[in-house]
Amino acid sequence: MATVNLTINGRQITAESGQTILEAARNAGIHIPTLCYLKDINKSGACRICLVEVKGARALLSSCTTPVSEGMEVYTNSERALKGRRNSLELIMSNHNKNCLSCKRNQNCELQTLCEEMGIRENQFDGEYTKPSFDNFSHGIVRDTSKCVLCERCVETCKKVQGLGVLGFENRGFATIVAPVYDKSFADVNCMQCGQCVINCPVGALTEKEHIQEVIDAINDPEKVVIVQTAPAVRASLGEEFGLPIGTRVTGKMVAALKRCGFDRVYDTDFAADLTIMEEGTELLERLEHGGVLPLFTSCSPGWVRFIEYEYPELLPHLSSAKSPHMMMGAMLKTYWAEKNGVDPKNIYSVSIMPCIAKKSEIQRPECNTSGLPDVDAVLTTRECARLIKMFGIDFNDLDDEEFDPDLFGDYTGAGVIFGASGGVMEAALRTVKQILEGEKLEKVDFEACRGMQGVKEAEVEVAGNKLWIAIASSMNAAKPLLEEVKAGNSKYTFIEIMGCPGGCINGGGQSIVPSKVKNGNKIGYGYKDLRMNALYDEDQLCELRVSCDNKQIQELYDNFLGKPGSELAEKLLHTHYSQKERFNILDK
């Protein structure tokens, strides 16, 4: 790799040819503030916050777009550079809704942080505001353009991460806003509701639709039995909301906090993840044995399910009919659990704590109800869960660890835990399918080929003497080549896991929001997704049982209620169907 030599603030720096000034500075430990920049996704230079002075240049240059050159002299903190940045920031603030105290991003807002760093205390530029748009019609995402800074991060994330391009710039000049086409609602276009735009928005322009008050009302209703379940990825992120290091596993504290909030039962969705493996694994075996449609696609990610319904409806026969784990748990709560505890299902209020915004739209699917009742009544994101705990005045970090409620759905295996990381569903399925087909306990349950943060992973695995090709993809842009192969009829794979968000649920749209300067790398050598992923695999290692079919309570559920995986009752309660969704017609204004 060719290199160039330059100086930044008088320091001699060697950088790779083709790097930008910003990249060279960050590699050298020199801080340059940014707002619109998002590594590998967006570097438009639109915000002008990363301005630097370069000797010989007539104007200040945006460091995120300017390549380094031999002998370049850069000054990041010259009087001219600092004044240019302040002017840019003050101009942005002049058209920004400043209701910071009531904003969900208060104290975790990159614009707010920049104002603090640069000492912006007053409004230098006062004038009119761009006419705002407010969209809260979709089940998951709220858009408020009065807080938008036109940084383009959400636009490029939707385009480059998910390959959709739902968002774009509408209007021109001072009237410009970011919106779906014709300023339509997210509810009216082919949005996945994945929330990647939300976690990459630096301000409060995009947020999740909040359902905290509905949950509080249910907790305070004496007629309701309020049961909460927590997804595996939540335990690897929730601690960040309370100032703990990224990747801190807070399973016990999370359970203790939710019990103090007043939930009648606290269960782990990992139990239902084990249940999902039994159903989805059986479905795979049946397709292999009876010549069913292959490859089989996993169906745990509702964002991915929405994507295939909009973009590849011809491939729906490949999609597993198994509901996602939390929907299976909801169905079991309002049937088996209700029967065992003598509770009228109408009085059960089922709450899911999820890393995913798309789960909020999933629970609204008419196919996902049990005996006329919704499987799940409310979904709170990891961030909403933290707000609920704070509203109840609970000192999270001072809590002693507590266990999930043990009755009926209290057991889970390590296979259920790793569902939260990309490749976890595949690895969990392989553990059970291999053990069942080979008829003996697995000596080695770790399938290392399934792990890691690559967009696409593949491997050839041996199961009962047969070799099968598997593939794993996270984010729709990564998944598209696999889908095109299947569409063309030349896919070599038997089983494909697809997750809507890069890295899987650990990086779901409802997880704790990590500031972009941390997302771009940290000093201890791991990215935030790796740290959260490692937390889940650490818990997997600690579990006594690590194969889903070994879960005793799962076995009892089949013996006492469902009969067997894929039974008529299991099909009714644990499976669903999917259908083509109409994309927005650009001619239909």
Active-site residue, 505 included: yes
Tokens linked to 254: 């999370």
Give me the amino acid identity at 361. S
| Paired residues of 143 in beta bridges | 135, 206
The single residue of 53, 241, 362, 427 carrying the catalytic annotation is 362
The single residue of 359, 434, 457, 529 carrying the catalytic annotation is 359
CA dist 573 and 329 (Å) reads 10
H or E, element range at 495: strand 495-499
The single residue of 103, 148, 194, 505 carrying the catalytic annotation is 505
* Nearest C-alpha neighbor of 358 from the set 337, 339, 381, 328: 381
DSSP letters spanning 11-24? EEEEEETT-BHHHH
The single residue of 367, 438, 484, 582 carrying the catalytic annotation is 367
Q: Output b/e per residue, 208-217; b: 16+ Cβ within 10 A.
A: bbbbeeebbe
User: Alpha helix locations (H) across 291-336?
Assistant: 302-311, 325-332
Specify the length of the chain in residues. Answer: 589
Active-site residue, 300 included: yes
Active-site residue, 280 included: yes
The single residue of 47, 300, 356, 385 carrying the catalytic annotation is 300
Sign, CA dihedral 382-388-394-399, equals: negative
Sign, CA dihedral 99-104-106-108, equals: negative
The single residue of 62, 146, 320, 512 carrying the catalytic annotation is 320
Tokens linked to 486: 């299947």
Active-site residue, 324 included: no
The single residue of 208, 210, 280, 539 carrying the catalytic annotation is 280
Active-site residue, 367 included: yes
Active-site residue, 283 included: yes
* Nearest C-alpha neighbor of 533 from the set 570, 490, 499, 486: 499
CA dist 529 and 531 (Å) reads 5
CA dist 431 and 276 (Å) reads 13
The single residue of 110, 283, 311, 427 carrying the catalytic annotation is 283
Residues with active-site annotation: 280, 283, 300, 320, 359, 362, 367, 505
